[in-house]
Chain A
């Protein structure tokens, strides 16, 4: 029996430890277990069994105590989570986000941190929009001379995009766009009649602009592999964020963790909060993790040859920061000075909507968990007004229903109320947020959470690049609606809020050199090469597309490298 330095038996020793079970942790678990490693997956929150624990998934609107509206009492416990309508304002999904009263952090400047602490993390509630990055995006930092260059090119990641797409299942249309490469697609979800008018009007008027079906991680034509995992075709419920009983959209719980479980190589441990890594000064590697049991608050140690940090951007970075060593001091596992810096997100809350009064003999059937997408065109086909990079739009065009404003009472009112109104066409921009050195997170020197771990402090904001971009995001949306002949157009632009995109990323970036980054081109921590970080923390720039697909591809790629290095005896 092997005994480690604390006298803990080898039962706590695995080949690999994966910290976190969200979208990237699920991939790490799947890849490492399928390659034969014995893997411990540590999840800080509760277990959330696929289907069985999706408590509202089959609820009709009238089955929910408030027909789907969250009561004020529960919103008070989730006051940060309630800053967006996307999360807890819906009674059916509120149980999949944290109670802010239990998980405090410190906002030096406003930062909206949306979190789901349970098996699968935010892979249960994500928007499922999936877009590849292009070579242009990986070159952008070097070309603009900002932040630090990416250490990888499109060709490094392209095969891994294909690999994860075939498993996850992506619905979309082939467009042959150089700046938004096609994925391995299952059939796209059709545009609506109004969206087709928008498409033809926009594509006719502006060179290079496209209106395409959103690309989403939903099964529209499942493969044998997907069916064998117990996943089925999308049923167009659009109740996704409650958890899907058909496994039709990609989540850790419904896909990667099932695959991992079937290898019999995975040990899944919920209620396991990782506070720091156990660093071996002699070897310069991490030999394990310090864990606090969420419920009993007992400290524990687990050991492994390789460790994947997939706790989400801020949590993974916290773990690196909270790992104090003689060699690198109190700042954590980093010698570049970039750890905790360059926090990014996508900025949104800007766009326009209008009504369209043609095609009134048409409507839609089903509730599409998707819409249209307008890929980036600024600083590609049309120059941006006073900023670098660009933005894309997500939107939808559907008939107005009962909730529209209708004057009157009685039978006449009821007739209108139970009929469809004109089309409503809406689009919202997703803009690139640049990586700024001063956009940072730290660990509080004195404030701790109930597990004795230092609270996270966030201090980050925007500059004129984001603000100028938002002017175009607002104006371009209006102009495109005008081009299709929409009426009653109204535009919106709120103050950009970091975190609200729920795409926080970048605080342990990849780079070309140990002096400019925390991670190398294989997502290996420069100063602890058996530790890999493959969640949002690894991002060197943000681009303007939804990031999860890139996290998946980076994770699969890093896992493949880690196992081959392990076999060579290099780790």
Chain B
């Protein structure tokens, strides 16, 4: 949709003397599907991750993390773009979270109700901040979930708005809390 808009701008700019055929432009808009498969996490870790991601960005009037495909993006980025020690922080964190929930609450994290999940995560975040841990499990996981959601097709066209070609610049635009943010 937006890409079609961008092609329209392109055609308007170049008019009839279009040096590049529109078909080329359409080709440039093809997703670069390299057939990457997430293979880093175990089934258990995936379940925990999905639940954590949804606690961070739940479904409201706009889709939540799961609906936006965040768990899959998260795993692909974690396996391909992170160094082993940073991967370990998140993978161990997911495993430990589950183990702790079993001990303390008799259930895996994913099977707890969301209010309880959020309570657990909130306490973990506070502990991490109090201990001034850099690159801890909660911080690292939240950072990647935030990024995966904002850069996903669902997130960037519902909770946010991404335009490939905004077409204009304004240094002063009115804003109030609740207005949709352009990425």
Q: Name A's B-contacting residues (CB within 8 A).
A: 50-52, 54-73, 189-193, 195-196, 230, 232-237, 239, 245-246, 360-368, 399, 401-403, 407-411, 413-414, 417-420
Most buried by A among B2, B19, B81, B180: B81
Q: B32 in the interface, Cβ–Cβ < 8 Å?
A: yes
Q: Are A235 and B24 in contact (CB under 8 A)?
A: no
Partner of A363, one of B20, B32, B60, B175: B175
Q: A402-B160, A409-B122 are in contact. List 10 more A-B contacts (CB 8 A).
A: A51-B24, A62-B153, A196-B171, A230-B19, A236-B165, A245-B20, A360-B175, A366-B169, A403-B143, A413-B57
B32 near A56: Cβ-Cβ < 8 Å: yes
**CB of B99 closer than 8 Å to a CB of A:** no
Contact with A along B142-166 (1 / 0, CB 8 A): 0100111011110010011010111
Task: Given A64-B32, A407-B125, answer yes or no on A51-B19 (Cβ-Cβ < 8 Å).
Answer: yes
Contact partner, B167, options A55, A235, A403, A414, Cβ 8 Å? A235
Known A-B contacts A65-B32, A363-B175, A411-B58; the reply to A403 vs B147 at CB < 8 A is: yes
Mark contacts of B105-132 with chain A using CB atoms, 8 A cut-off: 1 yes-contact digit, 0 otherwise: 0000000001000100110010001000
Q: Which of B29, B30, B56, B76 contacts A66 (CB 8 A)?
A: B76
Query: Are A190 and B169 in contact (CB-based, < 8 A)?
Result: yes
Given contacts A63-B31, A362-B173, contact A417 B13 (CB under 8 A): no
Q: Among B19, B30, B129, B171, which residue has its beta carbon within 8 angstroms of that of A364?
A: B171
Q: How far is the CA of A196 from the CA of B170 in the complex (A)?
A: 13
Determine how close the nearest CB of chain A comes to the CB of B97; give it in whole angstroms.
Answer: 13
* Residue from the list B82, B148, B168 in contact with A72, Cβ < 8 A: B82
Question: Whose C-beta in chain B lies nearest to the C-beta of A399?
Answer: B175
A55–B31 CA distance with the chains assembled, in angstroms? 10
Residues of chain A within 8 A of B77, CB atoms compared: 66-67, 69
**B152 contacts across to A, CB distance below 8 A:** 61-62, 67
Tell whether, in the assembled complex, residue A362 and residue B122 are in contact, meaning their CB atoms are under 8 Å apart: no
Q: Which residue of A lies closest to B156 (CB)?
A: A61
- Binding site of A, secondary structure by majority: helix, strand, loop or mixed? loop
Cα(A26)–Cα(B17), bound, Å: 23
Q: Knowing A62-B152, A410-B118, A419-B178 touch, does A365 contact B166 (C-beta < 8 A)? A: yes
Residues of B within 8 A of A63 (CB): 29-32
Residues A403 and B164 in contact, CB atoms below 8 Å apart: no
Q: How far is the CB of A484 from the nearest CB of chain B, in Å? A: 16
Output the nearest chain A residue to B122 by Cβ-Cβ distance.
A409
**B137 on the interface (CB 8 Å rule)?**
no
| Cross-chain contact of B146 among A56, A62, A235, A403 (Cβ < 8 A) | A403
* B31, A364: Cβ atoms closer than 8 Å: no
- Residues on the A chain within 8 Å of B40, using CB: none
Residues of B at the A interface (CB closer than 8 Å) are 2-3, 6, 9-10, 13-14, 17, 19-20, 24-25, 28-34, 36, 55-58, 60, 62, 73, 76-77, 80-83, 114, 118, 121-122, 125, 129, 143, 146-148, 150-153, 156, 159-160, 162, 164-178, 180-183
In contact, B55 and A59 (Cβ under 8 angstroms):
no
CA of A195 to CA of B172 in the docked complex: distance in angstroms? 10
- Return chain B residues, CB-CB under 8 Å to A50: 19-20
Compute the total of residue contacts between A and B using a CB distance below 8 Å.
195
Q: Which residues of B contact A246 (CB under 8 A)?
A: 9-10, 13
Q: Whole-angstrom distance between the alpha carbons of A420 and B183 in the complex? A: 11
- What's the Cα separation between A420 and B122 when bound, in Å? 22
The reply to whether B173 and A365 form a contact with Cβ atoms under 8 Å apart is yes
From A52, A64, A195, contact of B171 by CB (8 A): A195
**Which of A52, A58, A66, A196 makes the CB contact (< 8 A) with B6?**
A58
Closest to B57 in A: A414
Please name all residues of chain A whose beta carbon is closer than 8 Å to the beta carbon of B9 when the two chains form the complex. 235, 246
A202 to chain B, nearest CB (A): 17
A473 to B: closest C-beta gap in Å:
26
Q: How far is the CA of A63 from the CA of B34 in the complex (A)?
A: 10
Bound-state CA distance A60–B156 (Å) is 10
Per the bound structure, the CA–CA distance linking A364 and B166 in Å amounts to 11
Are the CB atoms of A420 and B181 closer together than 8 Å? yes
Residues in B whose Cβ lies below 8 Å from that of A59 = 28-29, 31-32
| Interchain nearest-CB distance for B48 vs A (Å) | 15
Who on chain A is nearest to B180 by CB?
Answer: A418
Subset of 13 A-B contacts with CB under 8 Å: A51-B19, A51-B24, A52-B20, A58-B3, A58-B25, A62-B31, A65-B34, A246-B9, A361-B176, A368-B169, A409-B121, A417-B57, A417-B146
Q: Known interface pairs A232-B14, A237-B164, A419-B178. Does A65 touch B183 (Cβ–Cβ under 8 Å)?
A: no
Taking CB atoms, residues of chain A closer than 8 Å to B180 are: 418
Asked if B168 contacts A365 (CB within 8 A), the reply is yes
Given known A-B contacts A56-B32, A60-B3, A71-B81, A366 and B170 have beta carbons under 8 A apart: yes
In the bound complex, how far is the Cα of B143 from the Cα of A236, in angstroms? 26
* A411 CB contacts on chain B under 8 angstroms: 58, 60
Nearest chain B residue, comparing its CB with the CB of A228: B17
Inter-chain contacts of A234 with B (CB < 8 A):
169
The residues of A that contact B176 with a CB separation of less than 8 Å are: 361
List the A side residues contacting B175 at CB < 8 Å.
360-363, 399, 420
Q: By the criterion CB–CB under 8 Å, are B81 and A235 in contact?
A: no
Are B80 and A66 closer than 8 Å at their CB atoms? yes
Contact of B166 among A57, A72, A235 (CB under 8 A): A235
Whether A67 and B3, one on each chain, are in contact in the complex, defined by CB atoms closer than 8 angstroms, is: no
Q: Which of B143, B171, B178 lies in contact with A190, CB distance below 8 A? A: B171
Chain B residues whose CB sits within 8 angstroms of the CB of A236 once the complex forms? 165-169
- Residues of chain A within 8 A (CB-CB) of B13 are 232-233, 246
Of all A-B residue pairs in the complex, the 5 with the closest CB atoms, nearest first, are A232-B13, A190-B171, A61-B151, A366-B169, A71-B80
Report the Cα distance A16→B115, complex, angstroms: 74
Q: Chain A's nearest CB lies how many Å from the CB of B96?
A: 18
B181 A418 Cβ-Cβ under 8 A? yes
Task: State whether A364 and B164 are in contact (beta carbons under 8 Å apart), knowing that A65-B36, A401-B181, A409-B121 are contacts in the complex.
Answer: no
Give CA–CA (A59, B82) in the complex, Å. 23
B172 engages A245 (CB within 8 Å):
no
In the assembled complex, the Cα of A196 lies from the Cα of B172 at a distance in Å of 10
Please, how many angstroms separate the alpha-carbon atoms of A42 and B30 in the complex? 32
CA distance A311 to B83 in the complex (A): 36
B34 neighbours in A (Cβ, 8 Å): 65
How far, in Å, is A361 (CB) from chain B's closest CB?
6
CB distance from B108 to the nearest CB of A (A): 18
A189 touches B169 (CB 8 A): yes
Q: Which of A52, A55, A72, A364 contacts B172 (CB 8 A)?
A: A364
| Chain B residue contacts of A189, Cβ below 8 A | 169, 171
Give A73 Cβ to nearest chain B Cβ, in Å.
Answer: 7
